[in-house]
Chains A and B, each alone.
Chain A
Amino acid sequence: MPPNKKKILIITTNHSSYPGADAVGQARLAYEANTYIIRVPDPVMFPEDFYLGAFDKGIGGIIIMSSGSDCPYEGAYERLSKRVARVYEKMKARGIKADRLKLTTICTVCRAAFLKEISEMEKAVAAA
């Protein structure tokens, strides 16, 4: 890994996308090592400044892998997508390119989708 490569923060859910990331490993698929997975009950807990703060700290890109319609929490996905929309506005105001943040849905066996999201974010981070 080139030492100056920007890091990608991947926010996963206990319920769905974290086991999905495990499934990618169990299938011995490969992606790049500048990827850091953290897990939460639901990304809805993060305020807008959490994302902006992460960029300030030097994170290159953030992928929020939510549980989508499989979300065990009522109304959480709708709130999350509204919040992310507001984060985009703030990113725009600060001149951070929109493709450095992505909200997506990953299930426990969504291996191909998981890899696709990472490779797209790698491109966005490299271009930024």
Chain B
Amino acid sequence: MSDMEKIEVDALVVGSGIAGLQSALDMADQGLSVVIVEKRPSIGGKMISLSKVFPTLDCASCITTPRMASVSHHPRITTLTYSTVDAIKRENGVFTAAVTRKPRYIDEKECISCKRCEDVCPVYLPDEYEEGMGAKKAITIPFTNAIPQLPVMDPEHCIRCGACARACPKDCIDFLQQPAPVEIKAKAVILATGYETTPMTAKKQYGMAKLPNVISPMAAERLLAPHGPYGRVLRPSDGMVPGSIAYVQCAGSRDKSIGVPYCSRVCCMYAIKQAILLSGSLPIADITIYYMDIRAFGKGYEQFYNNARAMGINFVKAKVARITEDEKHNPILRIERQEGSSAPEEVKHELVVLSQGLRPGDDVSRYGLGAELNDFGFVKLSDETVSSAVTAGAGVFAAGVSKGPRDIPDSVVDAGSAAMEAISYIRKL
């Protein structure tokens, strides 16, 4: 294809979560040209869908949106959203990445983000941004703060009624749009591929995702978000306001049986944060956190934990052996206390959050960049005692959770150092 889109830059950043955004900004602000490739329709990663963030409880989107805006306005940063990196090869010190722009079925250059297509679309679908709670249209801008503000059409559910095409003032709708290949040439690559949470089905004793009122922490984030799907905290099975809520810690971490023996570092703190937010929105609710050790190790975290206890959140050191439910879908936890008394007991709650752990967001070994992975699929550093970003692959650096679980402050701090390693590598080329 002769008219294939080609981009030549200093550095390619894979992933646009907070680590990817920050490393791109740190490089571009020092004069490098950068391209970011993001598989989702908006930049911003996981952080943009969080409610508030520990330990300061500032709103996640208030912190992420300015970063997203700086990236999108930066003269030296190009962002390819809704695009996948299919392959990267390195020859004579230059990386060539094959990227595919997935079709949004609109003309991205002409669209003015007016949402008229979305307003008139008659097809409603579960909204994955709201973790399946709430509805979206078959053509939609993925969420309010999305960047770019471009709608994406779901071709599988679109009924080709043409309402969107008629409503569009710029004649942007293109039902026949095809995936478009892009070739990127870069001197360095930063992997900022982030994480996925461990699956809700990881532990078969925990209901295998079939209990409606046993939810993921990401769903809880959406329930707590000021602009969430219901505008308040309701439990999924019957829309009731839950009076008793429990967190099961280490539901996807510190557990060899599910292949995640490591600590995911963030779960104690996000559970405490959600508990604090819940007790704000549901003042009479009873909130319990079942845990092994509370790991409040960051700056201001222990004080945050102490505040949660002072607010009356119950911390119970216990192992949760099994979760079932009663006929009203109230989850029943079989717990073995590790303090107080020894006999196993059953406790009923109205809503349960499984504190899932983190696992790699992408298998970066498929690119064949020479960057090695550790036993759990995270990117391994060549010598972590002297650098926090250099991998075994020449010109390949890692930022944020791609190397292993870390929270937002640690990821932001990490990103700058990855940018610095890439800059110094390029300078020496």
Question: Which stretch from B3-11, B22-30, B57-65, B79-87 is at the chain A interface?
Answer: B57-65
A110 & B144 in contact (Cβ 8 Å cutoff) = no
B144 & A26 in contact (Cβ 8 Å cutoff) = yes
Query: Could you give, for residues 8-23 of chain A, a 1 whenever the CB lies within 8 Å of some chain B CB and a 0 otherwise?
Result: 0000000010010001
B59 & A108 in contact (Cβ 8 Å cutoff) = yes
Shortest distance between the CB of A24 and any CB in chain B (Å): 10
Q: Kindly identify which residue among A19, A28, A109 contacts B226, using a CB–CB cutoff of 8 Å.
A: A109
Which residue of A has the minimal Cβ distance to B149? A26
Query: Could you give, for residues 61-91 of chain A, a 1 whenever the CB lies within 8 Å of some chain B CB and a 0 otherwise?
Result: 0000000001000000000000000000000
Cβ of A107 < 8 Å from any Cβ of B? yes
Which residues of chain A are within 8 angstroms of B61 by Cβ–Cβ distance?
A: 108-109
Which residue of A has the minimal Cβ distance to B58? A70
Query: Could you give, for residues 304-341 of chain B, a 1 whenever the CB lies within 8 Å of some chain A CB and a 0 otherwise?
Result: 00000000000000000000000000000000000000
Question: Chain B, interface size: which category?
Answer: 10 to 19
A19 & B65 in contact (Cβ 8 Å cutoff) = yes
A-B contact count (CB 8 A): 26
Cβ of A33 < 8 Å from any Cβ of B? no
Cβ of B46 < 8 Å from any Cβ of A? no
Tell me the complex Cα distance, A110–B59, Å: 10
Which residue of B has the minimal Cβ distance to A15? B66
Cβ of B227 < 8 Å from any Cβ of A? yes
Q: How many residues on A have C-beta within 8 angstroms of the other chain's C-beta atoms?
A: 13
Cβ of A127 < 8 Å from any Cβ of B? no
Q: Kindly identify which residue among A16, A23, A70, A107 contacts B144, using a CB–CB cutoff of 8 Å.
A: A23
Which residue of A has the minimal Cβ distance to B144? A26
Tell me the complex Cα distance, A28–B145, Å: 13
Contacts A19-B65, A23-B144, A26-B144 given: A109-B227 contact, CB under 8 Å? yes
B58 & A27 in contact (Cβ 8 Å cutoff) = no
Q: Kindly identify which residue among A16, A28, A70, A111 contacts B227, using a CB–CB cutoff of 8 Å.
A: A111
Tell me the complex Cα distance, A111–B65, Å: 15
Which residue of A has the minimal Cβ distance to B226? A109
Which residue of A has the minimal Cβ distance to B56? A69
Which residue of B has the minimal Cβ distance to A23? B144
A27 & B226 in contact (Cβ 8 Å cutoff) = no
Query: Could you give, for residues 120-144 of chain B, a 1 whenever the CB lies within 8 Å of some chain A CB and a 0 otherwise?
Result: 0000000000000000000000001
B62 & A111 in contact (Cβ 8 Å cutoff) = no
B65 & A107 in contact (Cβ 8 Å cutoff) = no
A107 & B59 in contact (Cβ 8 Å cutoff) = yes
Can you report 26 residue pairs joining A to B where beta carbons are below 8 Å apart?
A: A16-B62, A19-B65, A23-B144, A23-B145, A26-B144, A27-B144, A27-B227, A28-B115, A70-B58, A70-B62, A107-B59, A107-B62, A108-B59, A108-B61, A108-B62, A108-B65, A109-B59, A109-B61, A109-B62, A109-B145, A109-B226, A109-B227, A110-B226, A111-B226, A111-B227, A112-B226
Closest 8 CB pairs of A and B: A108-B62, A26-B144, A109-B61, A107-B62, A107-B59, A109-B226, A109-B59, A109-B227
Q: Which residues of A contact B (CB under 8 A)?
A: 16, 19, 23, 26-28, 70, 107-112
Q: Which residues of B contact A (CB under 8 A)?
A: 58-59, 61-62, 65, 115, 144-145, 226-227
List 7 extra interface pairs beyond A23-B144, A109-B59, A109-B227, CB under 8 A.
A27-B227, A70-B58, A107-B62, A109-B61, A109-B145, A109-B226, A111-B226
